[in-house]
Chains A and B, each alone.
Chain A
Amino acid sequence: MNTRAAPVRTTSALAVFDVERIRRDFPILQREVNGYPLAYLDNAASAQRPQVVIDAEAHYYAEIHANVHRGVHTLSQLATEAYESTRESVRRFINAASTREIIFVRGTTEAINLVAQSYARPRLAPGDEILITWLEHHSNIVPWQLLCEQTGARLKVAPINHSGEVELPAIEAQLSPRTRLLAIAHVSNALGTILPVREIIELAHARGVPVLLDAAQAVPHLRVDMRELDCDFYAFSGHKLYAPTGIGVLYGREALLKEMPPWQGGGDMILKVSFEGTTFNALPYKFEAGTPNIAGTVGLGAAIDYLEALGMERIAAYEHELLDYATQRLASVRGLRLIGTARQKAAVLSFVLDGIHPHDIGTILDSVGIAIRTGHHCAMPVMEFFQVPATARASLAFYNTRAEVDRLVAALERTREVFG
């Protein structure tokens, strides 16, 4: 055995990432809350926007706005170009095969509802099954419950373990000949768990079961690649990706999207309308009825450009170091219990503090300018699993710092003092 130590690498992700410069890109991070500099640790609920995104939206309204896909006039052409060039940005960002696979929607929730109603509903017979996991966000539970009521299908739930992980055998045990779709989170919003989606998809595909990933928490923190993942549907939101609210993306495998009927009817999704019948437009327009969120889409494009310039791998490496630091620092707080200790985690720290309700923690932290989320995080079954009514959750982004984590820890110590 070679006992000689390998040369020590001193260049950590923290060292190569100029977070102070990056923070200056986000105007809201310069403000104070309750007399203290804002420490925004609620990124899993919604992230903040860099100036370039705000500018892109403002520029769109000041210089470009008209309706898309409709006019021969200059502005309509410019608006269409701005809208469609973002579709190409999204395609490149997630490495989809074609822009025909990129559907603009309001957000992850709408994307999942679209798949439920347009893909799954026509295919389901009573007794068929949809499989989810115990750690899903309500937006990946309720659309399936509605669908089950409409079709007589059954919702099955694969369990998690006490670290908040989904183990492959747990999925395998729930897959049956009646399973018609597997719909799971890529990253858990309440626990931070990164699911072994590549392996899960392989497992499901081997049984002929298509897979939808709720990627709202994944896309902001990981480099994702549709062709490598080989999933069938992939849903995410702009507002967690440093882009405007009200814009999101559904990626769908082209062969599946082609067979699916439109979800909503209206303008832009048609080729020809008469009272005898209507011919639907091609992909992706078939699924984009009505005037879309053009400005939001333009903002999404700017956010993607910004993230690509920083580099998703560098973002992930920085956030991972920050997560390790925060995990270690929080462990020093007496009476603090982390909820969700998966080996593979995104920078989400859900916790409870002995005898102190998360809501009280949230108020005390807010009084010193620290924003965290408290409550059930739209994942009530997860709370039930860990037998807590709620948790406090700090969720980190690449613009957060060790100093902010230190402030969090100090404020938690202060919380303990108040409730003595």
Chain B
Amino acid sequence: MDLKELYRDVIIDHNRRPRNFGRLEQPDAHAEGFNPLCGDRLDVYLKLDGDRIRDVRFEGKGCAISVASASLMTEALKGRTRAEAQRYFQEVHDLLTRADFTPTLELGKLAALSGVREFPVRVKCASLCWHTLNAALASSSQPVSTE
């Protein structure tokens, strides 16, 4: 069990200084995510330009993995289309859960999340923001949960 694999420098950095953190005024879409086991809560806000994510921000309280994952997600998705966001969702999902997974997209810093798969109970921490994003894109007003 290698903690360095989980808490990589990128993760620690994005936990300490989360990017795109804070409410987005008058968002085009918004969803709330909740993880009852750890009490993590986060909100994802979107500004959409037709099919494209013009801006994405998040706000909430959570563990280092959930905050860093959300921060990395916002960086990766700004400017992407809905379809691209879907592909990233699937890619990160596989990265978090499949040991034999080879990324097909240019994941960049998101690759730092691969250490999470050695810690199965923490997978839902990393995936909460992605499920919340999906809910926002689907313009669902229901809170989502990764429990």
Contacts and interface: CB of A to CB of B under 8 A. Distances in A.
A389 B12 contact: no
B38 A359 contact: yes
Contacts of A360: 7, 63-65
A367 B3 contact: yes
Interface string B1-42: 101001100001001100000000000000000001111110
Contacts of B122: 359, 363
A100 interface: no
Contacts of B64: 356-357, 360, 419
B79 interface: no
Most buried by B among A359, A366, A375, A389: A359
A367 B6 CA distance: 11
Interface in A386-420: 389-390, 418-420
A204 B83 CA distance: 63
Contacts of B65: 359-360
A307 interface: no
Contact of A418 (B1, B7, B40, B62): B7
B119 interface: yes
User: A interface, how many residues as a size bin?
Assistant: 20 to 34
B1 to A, nearest CB: 5
Contact of A419 (B12, B38, B61, B119): B12
B53 interface: no
Most buried by A among B37, B63, B65: B63
Most buried by A among B1, B7, B15, B62: B1
Contacts of B1: 34-35, 366-367
B61 to A, nearest CB: 5
B70 interface: no
B61 A359 contact: no
Interface of B: 1, 3, 6-7, 12, 15-16, 36-41, 61-65, 119, 122, 125
The 5 closest A-B pairs by CB, nearest first: A357-B63, A359-B63, A389-B39, A390-B39, A359-B38
Interface of A: 34-35, 356-360, 363-364, 366-367, 374-376, 380, 383, 389-390, 418-420
16 contacts: A35-B1, A356-B64, A357-B64, A358-B63, A359-B40, A359-B122, A360-B7, A363-B122, A364-B3, A366-B1, A376-B36, A389-B38, A389-B39, A389-B40, A418-B12, A419-B16
